[in-house]
Amino acid sequence: EVQVLESGGGLVQPGNSLKLSCATSGFTFSTAWMYWYRQFPEKRLEWVARIKAKSNNYATDYTESVKGRFTISRDDSKSSIYLQMNNLKEEDTAIYYCATTGVAYWGQGTLVTVSS
């Protein structure tokens, strides 16, 4: 059974940083391309970042609004991915989900609230 579990969310002030983690099991993580999505308070869903596998040199992609502020990474030995979020803005407030390729499997999400 595929399992995806996010952690690390919380309340932060604008300009501060936060690092999200996503632990997985039940599939061959090392060859999987992994994604972060977010869901805004109004329920809109948005793709945030993607990281490819080692065979693709761990290439990364980001949605335009987070480029230069967010960094996606992975640790194949722990079947986990991460999202380092710097210089957070109020508009980054959302539930952040980790998911597998093709939006096939999602975690339960972790809430990030950016507010002074």
Partner 1 sequence: DIVMTQTPLSLSVAIGQSASISCKSSQSLKYSDGKTYLNWVFQSPGQSPKRLIYQVSKLDSGVPDRFSGTGSETDFTLKISRVEAEDLGVYYCCQGSYSPQYTFGAGTKLELK
| Strand, helix or coil for residue 14 | coil
Choose between 109 and 112: whose C-beta lies nearer to partner 1: 109
Q: Which of 28, 43, 55, 57 binds partner 1 (CB under 8 A)?
A: 43
Contact between 5 and 108 under an 8 Å Cβ cutoff? The reply is yes
Closest distance to partner 1 from the beta carbon of 52 (Å) = 9
Kindly state the DSSP code that residue 107 receives in the 8-state scheme: -
Question: In terms of DSSP bridges, do strands 34-39 and 60-62 run parallel, antiparallel, or are they unpaired?
Answer: unpaired
Q: d(Cα 80, Cα 67) in Å, to the nearest integer? A: 21
Give the shortest CB-83-to-partner 1 separation in angstroms. Answer: 14
Helix (H, G, I), strand (E, B) or coil at 69: coil
Asked whether 111 and 9 are in contact (CB, 8 A), the reply is: yes
Strands 110-114 and 10-12: parallel
Interacting residue with partner 1 among 70, 80, 82, 107 (CB under 8 A): 107
Candidates 61, 69, 73, 86; binder of partner 1 (CB under 8 A) is 61
By CB under 8 A, residue 97 contacts partner 1: yes
47 near partner 1 (CB under 8 A): yes
* 22 contributes a contact to partner 1 by CB under 8 A: no
Residue numbers at the binding site for partner 1 (CB under 8 A): 35, 37, 39, 43-47, 50, 61, 63, 97, 102-109
